[in-house]
Structure 1
Amino acid sequence: MSILTTYLTTQEIVNGIFSLLIVILSVSIGSYIASKYFKYDDKIFLYIGISWIGLNQGWYPSCISFLTTIISGMPIPDPLYFLIGNIGVPPLAFIWMIAMTDLMFEKRKTGILSIYGVFVAIYEIILILFLFIDPTLIGETTSAVDVKYSSFFGLYLIAIILIIMITGILFAAKSIKSENVGNRLKGKFLLIGFITYFIGAMADALLNLNIILLPIIRIVSIFSGFMFYLGWILPDSIKNKFGIKE
């Protein structure tokens, strides 16, 4: 731990460890969900799995910077931090919306995706322009493992989070109303997952997390990942616990 504390404060170490855990879990859960495409030949699993990996992209640069600081004593440069944390958000958010329109709004799919496509494309274009013009227009790193975004990018990211939460809750509500017992249970897990994801993401974006709040909010984010997994996969062990036979 003495090597860590040479370059990082206790709070930065806690932040970095939780970022690493969230990245490992999101990639593992997302990859597992996506792999179900090959079993069921259903693209929804592929879309959802890939999206989940991307929805936690904000923690990737924190994780990488934490590791580079441990290894070399140097965090990653600000432009690279912003690039890693944001460049994939628009396309992966769009993939999420493809899945949601397939599941709920198929008749209005073209219109919804066209509008949403323009929305996320604007974000991507401005991000790339600001990276070349002046990265401080995007935000500034407050430590090796944390960043404070400018008002524009902060609001844009919050808007994307809100859209994901709203569409997710709508789908969860639809599942809860299903006649299929398994789908109803999946819907409940998804509802919990989306609400806790929203709480974790918004708290992370809006609050100045101290050494006490930081682990709590990160645990909420990790918990949302497990709920997300149960909502899409619902393992046999969980079905058996709830007496579901399909």
Structure 2
Amino acid sequence: MGLRIISKYFKFKDKNFIYIGIIWIGIYHPWWSSTCSFLLALTTPYFLSLELYFLFALSLTPIFLTIWFIAFTDMVLQKYKIVLIVLIAVISGLFDIYLIYNVIFDVQAIGSFNENSIFDVQYNTISMIFLLFIVLVLLITGILFARESIKSGSPEIKLKGKFLTLAWILWAVGAILDSAVPLLIPLILLTRIILISSSILFYIGFLLPNFIKKQFGIS
């Protein structure tokens, strides 16, 4: 879906489609590890080590966050663009240094595998604070971004904004459940359903397929 959004750049020549497509991929970046570990265990007798799990899940965070803030400030808060981009890049970059250092010297400082599932982890205090900070930042900026669409005079853009608002809220709920709440198997399944639902809503909100337009009487 992220690639589909990126492909819209070639039609509309708007670089924000590239940014949004990349961030759509990026906000699900923390779940790459559990997916890879599951597929690896399904096809081989192995699964990801804790070190690789955290690297796959968190190491690209500064890149995705910086790209999101480039797009967000370009469309919503141009006045504070440089300050916000530099601030988020520095904060996330510092965490990346912490991450890489502990992957090398003390991976348990970052977190450990969930005792109920080798495909999920429990984060320790510093990692948890950073992840909750990121969720809060993305939720606030995402809703501000969607609010600009809702304020539009175009029914189509307004509808996109409503879908995006719901998508950001569901994504934040799923992310908090996944990172901050000790998960049993039923909660893991519920969390994945919430995240998949948010993914579908992001797709609808960004691209608004024709069949959705028809359902809401938009030509």
TM-score tier by shorter-chain length is over 0.9
Q: Which residue of 2 aligns with 1:127?
A: 99
Q: Percent identity?
A: 40
- Asked if the contact 1:140–1:147 (Cα under 8 Å) also holds between the matched residues in 2, the reply is yes
Q: Which residue of 1 aligns with 2:131?
A: 157
Q: Look up the equivalent residue of 1:71 and give its one-letter code.
A: T
- Equivalents in 1 of 2:158, 2:83: separation in Å? 29
Is the partner of 1:212 in helix, strand or coil? helix
Gaps of 5+ in 2: none
Alignment of 1:12-31 (within 5 A): 29-31=1-3
- Equivalents in 1 of 2:119, 2:55: separation in Å? 14
Is the partner of 1:74 in helix, strand or coil? coil
Kindly indicate whether residue 47 of structure 2 is the aligned counterpart of residue 93 of structure 1. Answer: no
The TM-score normalised by the length of structure 2 is 0.95
Is the partner of 2:185 in helix, strand or coil? coil
Q: What's the CA shift string for 1:151-199, capped at 9, x where partnerless?
A: 1011101111111110010111121111111111001000110011111
Kindly indicate whether residue 82 of structure 2 is the aligned counterpart of residue 110 of structure 1. Answer: yes
Q: What's the CA shift string for 1:35-56, capped at 9, x where partnerless?
A: 1111111111111111111111
Q: Which residue of 1 aligns with 2:153?
A: 179
Which is bigger in relative contact order (C-alpha 8 A, separation at least 6)? 1
- Aligned counterpart in structure 1 of residue 174 of structure 2, from 190, 200, 207: 200
Residue 210 of structure 1: how far off its partner (Å): 2.2
- Asked if the contact 1:69–1:144 (Cα under 8 Å) also holds between the matched residues in 2, the reply is no
Residue 203 of structure 1: how far off its partner (Å): 1.0
Gaps of 5+ in 1: 1-28
Q: Which residue of 2 aligns with 1:9?
A: none
- Equivalents in 1 of 2:22, 2:113: separation in Å? 27
Kindly indicate whether residue 42 of structure 2 is the aligned counterpart of residue 57 of structure 1. Answer: no
Distance change >3 Å, CA 73–CA 201, structure 1 → 2: same
Q: Which residue of 2 aligns with 1:10?
A: none
Q: Look up the equivalent residue of 2:158 and give its one-letter code.
A: R
- Equivalents in 2 of 1:204, 1:76: separation in Å? 18
Q: Look up the equivalent residue of 1:88 and give its one-letter code.
A: L
- Aligned counterpart in structure 2 of residue 242 of structure 1, from 213, 216, 219: 216
- Asked if the contact 2:122–2:182 (Cα under 8 Å) also holds between the matched residues in 1, the reply is no
Residue 101 of structure 1: how far off its partner (Å): 0.4
- TM-align CA RMSD: 1.2
The TM-score normalised by the length of structure 1 is 0.85
- Asked if the contact 2:135–2:172 (Cα under 8 Å) also holds between the matched residues in 1, the reply is yes
Q: What's the CA shift string for 1:10-40, capped at 9, x where partnerless?
A: xxxxxxxxxxxxxxxxxxx111111111111
Q: Look up the equivalent residue of 2:111 and give its one-letter code.
A: G
- Asked if the contact 1:200–1:220 (Cα under 8 Å) also holds between the matched residues in 2, the reply is yes
Residue 141 of structure 1: how far off its partner (Å): 1.6
Kindly indicate whether residue 183 of structure 2 is the aligned counterpart of residue 209 of structure 1. Answer: yes
- Equivalents in 2 of 1:218, 1:205: separation in Å? 12
Is the partner of 2:113 in helix, strand or coil? strand
